Each structure stands twice: as C-alpha cells, then as structure tokens.
Chains A and B, each alone.
Chain A
C-alpha cells in the first residue's frame, strides 16, 4: 500500500489485504465450524494458531499481566469446546470466539481491578479530562484560531517498514497502547493491530460504530504522537 497522498487526494483509502483464515485452511466459514465439530485436530490447531496472537493481545487490553492474559486465552478455548456443539452460526465464528474472550477477560479484569466498562458511562469513561492531546496542536485564539501551531511535516522514511526495525520504536508503541484507557486499547488493538472490521468490533465489544470511531480516533492520535520522534528528524 502506498502512503503517498498526492496534492489532490481524491483516491479512496485502501486497507491492506492479507489472506483470511478461510483462504489459509481452504474451508469456508460453515466448513470450518463443521470440521471443528467433527473434531478435526489439524483445523483446530490451525485456528488456534491463527487467532492466538489476536486473542492474547485483546486479553492484554483487559487484564494487568501477560500471564493472566494467557490464562484468559486458555479459558477462551475451553469455552469454545464447551459451546462448539451448540454453535449455530448466528454470528461469525470469529465474532463468537472473540466474544467468549471478552466475557472471560471482563470477569478476570474485574477481579484484577483493571477492566474499565465500555460505553456504560458514555465517552468520558476513558478518563479523558481537560483539553485533549489533539486540541493542544492548534492555535486557540486570535486570527490564527484553528490553525496548526507547528504544521505537520512529512515523515521520513515514506514507508513504515524501516521504522519498525527500531526495537526502541516498537517498544514505545507497545507501551503507548498499554498506557491507553482500556476501551481505547481494546478498539485500537482490534482495529489497527489485528485488522478487524469495524462491524466485527462493534459486535465483539458491544459498542456503537460512532463510539468505536471516537475511541479509535483518540487512541490513534496518541499513538501518532508517540511515533513522531522516531520518524521525524532521523532519530532511528
């Protein structure tokens, strides 16, 4: 995917397209569920491998440690085995799987006093107080009101592959995500890190699309801010 936006960017934004699980194991959704229900170990193993990372990351957005997150993931798969026989495909397998995880993770998170309920207290539930990070980037008074205080520069290099070569930068991003309020962390993990669709996310987290975008926007704004020193001024 090219990151270049020409002077008249009328083009659409194209998401990255990676092969899906279905393409990888050559089964459609119904075939996948049937294979699991008949006890096909190879498919179970492939499905576990496929979702392991996403489940672990999402669990870490609810519970305070990796060890607990791993337990939550394990409990999730046990939940899959419990419910598999009755699974009727009213939601997609992926949504069902992730909802099992969020339910277990919430229970664990509440016990570990980390979970912050999503959407219940409205948009302030993420503990955002006072002017946002984004507000601080703009002139607030006078004729320049609404203009950039420090106009954004182009980032070098043009593709992020190289930025990720820096371990320091990767750690900074991981820490930035971990430092986000729980609901923002859950949304950005699913949407950007794991590439779930916004429809899937609304189903998994039980939030509205609007709320999801607000949380995503705040989360991205913060991660962009953290990323900036690594891609600006050749600090790599």
Chain B
C-alpha cells in the first residue's frame, strides 16, 4: 500500500490520536477508565501501530512484574509480640 495513503488512513481510523497521546492514555486504558468512544479510538490506533502496541504490552509487562515482587515477611519477633498482645487483649475483653 502507498505509504502516504496508509498514513492518512491510519490517522483517519485512529481519530487522529498521536502516539504520544496513546502513551498518555495507556494507564487509563488498562484501568478501564476510558469512555467507550475513546477506547475504540485507542484500539483503532493500536491496531495500526506496532510501536504503540509494543508500548502497551511493555506497560502490562511492567505491571505484571510489579505484582510478582516477593512479599515482605513480618519479622517473627514482631509477630510473636503481637500475638502476645492479642492474647492480653482477649483476656481484657472477657474480664
């Protein structure tokens, strides 16, 4: 396809969202907070632009990676101290 034509078609289909605007909307898109027309325009752009598609999947990758950070364990001495306090609290409640 003629490159110029393709670019024009893309701009038309994508409702003139620039790649920069897409990048700015990535979080709103992933969080499901775009309005329906905006989401469609977003997806139109994505369907025609591999760079933005890659950027979106990089962002998803980032989120998934963050979700997989190991959790911070509670230090055992703090936990046993708190359990002791809980027992004391329970005694105080029932008396």
Interface flags for A156-177 (1: CB within 8 Å of B; 0: not) read: 0001110110000010011000
A146 to B21 alpha-carbon distance, docked (Å): 8
Q: Does A70 contact B (CB under 8 A)?
A: yes
A228 to B85 alpha-carbon distance, docked (Å): 46
Verify A53–B64 contact, CB threshold 8 A: no
A115 to B23 alpha-carbon distance, docked (Å): 30
Chain A residues with CB below 8 A from B28, complex form: 213, 217
Verify B83–A224 contact, CB threshold 8 A: no
Verify A9–B86 contact, CB threshold 8 A: no
Q: Does A23 contact B (CB under 8 A)?
A: no
Q: Does A117 contact B (CB under 8 A)?
A: no
Contact of B56 among A5, A56, A81, A134 (CB under 8 A): A5
A151 to B49 alpha-carbon distance, docked (Å): 10
Q: How far is the CB of B88 from chain A (nearest CB, A)?
A: 9
Q: How far is the CB of A221 from chain B (nearest CB, A)?
A: 8
Q: How large is the interface on B (under 10, 10 to 19, 20 to 34, 35 or more residues)?
A: 35 or more
Verify B72–A161 contact, CB threshold 8 A: no
Contact of A54 among B32, B57, B71 (CB under 8 A): B71
Chain A residues with CB below 8 A from B2, complex form: none
Q: A1-B64, A3-B64, A77-B82 are in contact. Are A53 and B73 (CB under 8 A)?
A: yes
Verify A3–B57 contact, CB threshold 8 A: yes
Q: Does B35 contact A (CB under 8 A)?
A: no
A55 to B54 alpha-carbon distance, docked (Å): 34
Q: Does B37 contact A (CB under 8 A)?
A: no
Residue ID in chain A nearest B89 by CB atoms: A81
A223 to B36 alpha-carbon distance, docked (Å): 28
Q: How far is the CB of B13 from chain A (nearest CB, A)?
A: 12
Interface flags for B1-36 (1: CB within 8 Å of A; 0: not) read: 000000000000000001111011011111111000
Chain B residues with CB below 8 A from A159, complex form: 64
Verify B74–A155 contact, CB threshold 8 A: no
CB-based closest 10 A-B pairs:
A146-B18, A53-B71, A39-B90, A52-B74, A151-B51, A217-B27, A192-B66, A152-B54, A160-B65, A138-B20
Q: 10 additional contacts, CB 8 Å, given A74-B82, A135-B20?
A: A9-B43, A41-B86, A77-B85, A84-B89, A146-B21, A160-B65, A220-B27, A223-B62, A223-B66, A224-B58
> Which residues of B are at the interface with A, using a C-beta cutoff of 8 A?
18-21, 23-24, 26-33, 43, 46-47, 50-75, 78-79, 81-83, 85-87, 89-90, 93-94
Instruction: Please list 11 pairs of residues, one from A and one from B, whose beta carbons are closer than 8 Å in the complex, sorted by A's number.
Output: A13-B30, A39-B87, A39-B89, A41-B87, A41-B90, A44-B83, A52-B72, A56-B74, A74-B78, A155-B58, A192-B66
